[in-house]
Amino acid sequence: MNRTIYVLCILLAVSQAAHALSYSTAEGTFAHQVTMFADVYSNEHNGRSPASWSDLQPYLDQPIDEVFYYILPTKRYAFLQRPLRLPPPHEGELVIVTRRPFRESRLYTSWYAGISRGLREPGRYIIYRTSAGSFKARYVEEAYIQQAFRGSESLLPSPDTEPERRHESEARWRSFVSWAAIAAIPFFLLARFIYRRFATRSANDRNA
């Protein structure tokens, strides 16, 4: 067991280093780490998939919601009551899914702000097991989720009641400020034009 935890710590360190070299969100990093916990659990339990957060808790020194306090996994994510076969392109057995759709962060380039963060289309993270037995995590759009659960709607977890994720509210605020600044430019130019015309006319009147 100690050897397993040691190997897991090395894998986590390598994973975090690799993620640091590319853009990664907190939610994406969390989902990726859960796949590694699930792989270790499966290897130690004759190939079984984890069925609850308590199955993964032994690999952490603190309660999972304290380790991932910015995610609150036990509240925002749910294990399925039974595995669900996913449609293409993510074929495999769905094990864990976000309880309700949200808008993940994305990077985009704009002419006025350079590289900025925005929001992707509403979707959820899925953690599933491939036919090869490994676990993967992906962010998929809500339309894919609805397709996957068509005919098995009873398996779809009930939505959580947690507040909107912080990155969503921050992205909305940044977007509002950016567009407000752009919208203010024409008004500024118009006001400047009117002021200069008024100042020129006043100067002409004084010189007359």
Residue 32 phi/psi, 5-degree rounding, is -65, -40
Whole-number Å distance between alpha carbons of 26 and 139:
12
Q: Is the pLDDT reported for residue 52 higher than 80?
A: yes
- 116 with 190, same domain: the answer is no
Q: Which of 147, 162, 177 is the last residue of a domain?
A: 162
Q: Pull the structure tokens for residue 103.
A: 């808008």
DSSP string, 116-180: EEEE--SEEEEEEE-TTS-EEEEEEEHHHHHHHTTT-GGGSPPPP-PPPPHHHHHHHHHHHHHHH
pLDDT given at position 146: 96
Domain assignment of residue 188, given as a range? 164-208
* Per-residue pLDDT, 134: 96
Name 206's Cβ contacts closer than 8 Å, sequence gap at least 6: none
**Strand pairing report for 114-119 and 123-129:** unpaired
Number of domains in the chain: 2
Do 101 and 200 belong to one domain? no
Do 154 and 182 sit in the same domain of this protein?
no
Same domain for 51 and 36: yes
Same domain, 142 and 172: no
Of residues 95 and 182, the one with the higher pLDDT is 95
pLDDT at 171: 60
Same domain, 34 and 79: yes
Query: Do 16 and 63 belong together in one domain?
Result: yes
Q: What percent of the chain has pLDDT over 90?
A: 55
184 confidence band (pLDDT: 50, 70, 90): low
Q: Are residues 126 and 196 in the same domain?
A: no
Residues 185-204 pLDDT 10s: 676 566 666 766 666 666 66
**123 shares a domain with 88:** yes
